[in-house]
Amino acid sequence: MNVFSRPTPEARGLGMTSQRARDRLVDRLKAEGIVDRRVLDIIGRLPRHLFVEEALASRAYEDTALPIGLSQTISQPWVVARMTEALIEGKLPEKVLEIGTGSGYQAAVLALLVKNVYTVERIEELLRNARRRFRKLGVENVRSKHADGRLGWVEHAPYDAIVLTAAGEAVDSALFDQLAPDGVLVAPVGPPGTQRLLRFRRGENGWVSESLGGVSFVPLLGGIG
Provide the annotated active-site residues: 75
The whole-angstrom separation of Cα 66 and Cα 83 is 18
Q: Which amino acid is at 150?
A: R
Chain CA centroid to CA 155, Å: 21
The β-bridge relationship of strands 142-146 and 206-214 is unpaired
Task: Please tell me the distance from the alpha carbon of residue 141 to that of residue 116, in angstroms, as a whole number.
Answer: 5
Distances (CA, A) of 84 to 5, 16, 67: 22, 25, 21
Q: Which amino acid belongs to residue 199?
A: R
DSSP codes, 130-151: HHHHHHHHT--SEEEEES-GGG
